[in-house]
Structure 1
């Protein structure tokens, strides 16, 4: 229901030797002028490769339960055309990204949704407010969606009185998406994708989903082909407002067979439920305000639970990824081992995917800081296409920045300059302000071994 703050990278400074005399030189700001911002004018949803029997279970678990574990008694959705309005002080990038999202929802999910004209009543309102104001109301949330209100002020007046309780809805007539207006263009876009899709349809997130934005691992930042299939099924004539879980379960096999013929195959693999203890451990491990030792303990617990469950899927890989993140500063050897295991699982499952790209970013940073320049270049080259195909500018820019520093350290200065310049254009979309872009660039510049840096 709300998108959590989840940084692209770990504390990469932990990879840098902490010798006091070296720090000022390593943090020297770059003088390169920033190029114009790059944007993704087209977005790829990707295909859906899982059997329909699994997708049906995913649909039911996404639709009839909330992230908190509370059950939803029936399916609710909007009826008729859906209009979207924007209020507040919206950033300039919002209009283009919203237009592209609505176009995809119409063409890929078959939903009758469009921008509200002046004077038209909107069913979904997107209100842009300062991030501090948003997080004062909902700490640690990057953005969120609430039903039955028309804007931030009405949400504050009715919060906690039952009006905004999703479990009490019998249908959907209006919803408000609250997004920050002072973050990067990518974060605004990501919030639009997740929160508008949840305003329209499923309210749950499932860590077991490898190919969905409905997953709190935040590896996918825009709606995928799976997500569009779920939304197309959600608004199909075969499903109706007020259907129970049992009624939807009976309708789904025929519906998915028609919408996704390639999924008409049998499988012996069922939808393995995720224990609450694992979810709690992952949440605690990612909690920024929790102590480092507690986060490390909870990450190790998540790995242990995943292994005891016999998982070989993305949940085990993500457990190891989180363990790598939280171990960077205190136990780098543990972090490297966890990242290697995580990357191996992701590659075996999904090939050169965005999942592997996130792991490779960490490993490339380690390779750069230890002077293994060829390894850093290879890892970034492997992952740049996946970052680009997933429309993740922050990840793409970070990979390119690491590659540029490795090229520079290897004496390939002209190649480094071109790659770095390209990275800055994507960085403006992924990180936002010039200050943020330069901070990330200098953070990565600090990783390059001093003896080989030009």
Structure 2
């Protein structure tokens, strides 16, 4: 389930997880000027999985045999045979193009027999107005359900027993519910994560930075790690109904076959202990709190737990990141130190390029506000490559606009204006309209006046 898009203009500029829905029908019509991810970013270039096969095997078991609520799933489940997928509801502009691009990736990178149809299908993607979604499921921007084929069917019995993933072995049908009035990027992000979970594991894990199945929302399009997990999950040596132990016994051979270059991957210390619920609750409360003071208090609680657990992974880095984002104005130096520490942790983690780019966005914003323009150029140059490869238009355009502002202050006005023009298509893709893109440009310009 892709959670509420949490990042607002906190600290300096957002980490680009928050892509607000357009407020008016005029804004919705502007979205039709956006162009597809294929046109913006070219052929997919996901980062290859960087973890060892031993770690990936553990990751798959934790992703596949536990729900996000923490409930255990007793048996392995998936679709068997070819999978048909259809779009229905208030289908937004570019949804068909983005879906077809996703299907092409699933076929070529994960080896899955998936096709889009107009009739009956195993997976239905229904686009529903955001307001209607939130009346029924307030905490999610999109989600996937088993054993239903329409929003109306789910709405008629939202707590029915047949909606329990934990009792399913062979999947027969699934419903992906996505907002009809989202930005193109959020619509694309929902398609990637929810379709992947319909076809593979259902859980999200904060400790894995190289996957969309992480509620930090740093990764937005399916990664090389995700495609390997899907390929392994649908391997013929696994069958619906297997226990966790049975799947675990077969995964080493499956991954050795699918990922023979694992020997070159960075090894991690295996951590078999599930993340404490208290830490997850503190993170979620920090992101959902109604004011910055409460967000900071919850972020500090999460950071204390991470330090007590002696973590050195994404959970500590994300705790530091949130503590910095929500730090009171008088704790600027502490916030900067926390961001630097988070960037260092992400740099040492497999697949850490994209999470680090989000941290560098905040570091660049602080450097811009303090007049350190060469540092802005260095940070944005380092982060723009991962932002482009992960196909994150909101992140990439924000980095470009930060860089343009620094160039302008250094007297390189022509370069700055060219960069702002180049950023506009990515900003419309990420933020939803030209007006929203202009608002982001103005927010970044205002950093110098703070």
- 1:46 is aligned to 47
Q: 1:335 to 1:159 in 2, by over 3 A?
A: same
Give unmatched runs, 5+ long, in structure 2: 15-32
Q: Deviation string for 1:331-374 (max 9, x for gaps)?
A: 33332221121112222335981111111111111111122222
CA distance in 2, matches of 1:186, 1:9: 18
Q: CA deviation at 1:239?
A: 0.4
Give the structure-2-normalised TM-score.
0.90
Q: Determine the structure 1 residue equivalent to 2:18.
A: none
What residue ranges of structure 1 are gaps of 5+ in the alignment? 15-34
Runs of 4+ in 1 over 6 A off after TM superposition: none
- Mark the CA change 1:272 to 1:327 in structure 2 (over 3 Å): closer, same or farther: farther
Structure 1 pair 237/351, CA: closer, same or farther in 2 (3 Å)?
closer
Q: 1:150 to 1:329 in 2, by over 3 A?
A: farther
- The CA distance in 2 between the partners of 1:350 and 1:254, in whole Å, is 22
2:198 corresponds to 1:192: no
Tell me by how many angstroms 1:409 deviates: 1.6
Q: Is 2:431 the partner of 1:431?
A: yes
Please list the CA deviations of residues 210-240 of structure 1 after superposition, one character each: whole Å capped at 9, or x if unmatched: 2111111111111111111111011111000
Q: CA deviation at 1:330?
A: 6.0
In the alignment, is the contact (CA less than 8 A) between 1:370 and 1:449 conserved in 2? no
CA offsets per residue over residues 272-302 of structure 1, 9 Å max, x none? 532222112111111143x433321221121
Q: 1:89 Cα shift?
A: 1.4
The equivalent residue for 1:417 is 417
Is 1:222 the equivalent of 2:225? Answer: no
**CA root-mean-square deviation:** 2.1
Match of 2:27 in 1: none
Q: Distance in 1 between matches of 2:145 and 2:323?
A: 33
Structure 1 CA distance for aligned equivalents of residues 179 and 338 of structure 2: 34
What is the total number of aligned residue pairs between the two structures? 428
Equivalent runs, 1:296-445 vs 2, <5 Å: 296-327=296-327, 329=329, 331-349=331-349, 353-445=353-445
Query: Counterparts in 2 of 1:163-182, with a 5 A limit?
Result: 163-182=162-181
Aligned to 2:108: 107
CA 1:413/1:436 → structure 2, altered by over 3 Å: closer, same or farther? Answer: same
Secondary structure of the structure 2 residue equivalent to 1:447: helix
Aligned partners of 1:321, 1:280: CA distance in 2, in Å? 16
CA distance in 2, matches of 1:409, 1:232: 49
CA–CA distance in structure 1, aligned partners of residues 436 and 82 of structure 2: 40
- Following the alignment from structure 2 to structure 1, what is the Cα–Cα distance between the partners of residues 68 and 368? 39
Structure 1 window deviating more from structure 2 (358-367 vs 326-335): it is: 326-335
Q: 1:379 to 1:351 in 2, by over 3 A?
A: farther
Residue 71 of structure 1: aligned partner: 72
Q: 1:59 to 1:300 in 2, by over 3 A?
A: same
Tell me, in whole angstroms, the C-alpha distance in 2 between the residues paired with 1:140 and 1:281: 15
In 2, Cα distance between equivalents of 1:226 and 1:75: 20
Deviation, 1:140, is: 2.8
Tell me how far apart the structure 2 counterparts of residues 286 and 68 of structure 1 sit (CA, whole Å). 17
Is residue 83–residue 124 contact of structure 1 (8 Å, CA) maintained in 2? yes
Q: Does 1:127 align with 2:126?
A: yes
Give the match for residue 91 of structure 1: 92
Q: Secondary structure at the match of 2:88?
A: strand
Give distance in 2, aligned partners of 1:221 and 1:242.
31
Q: Is it true that 1:258 corresponds to 2:261 in the alignment?
A: no
TM-score, with structure 1 as normaliser: 0.89
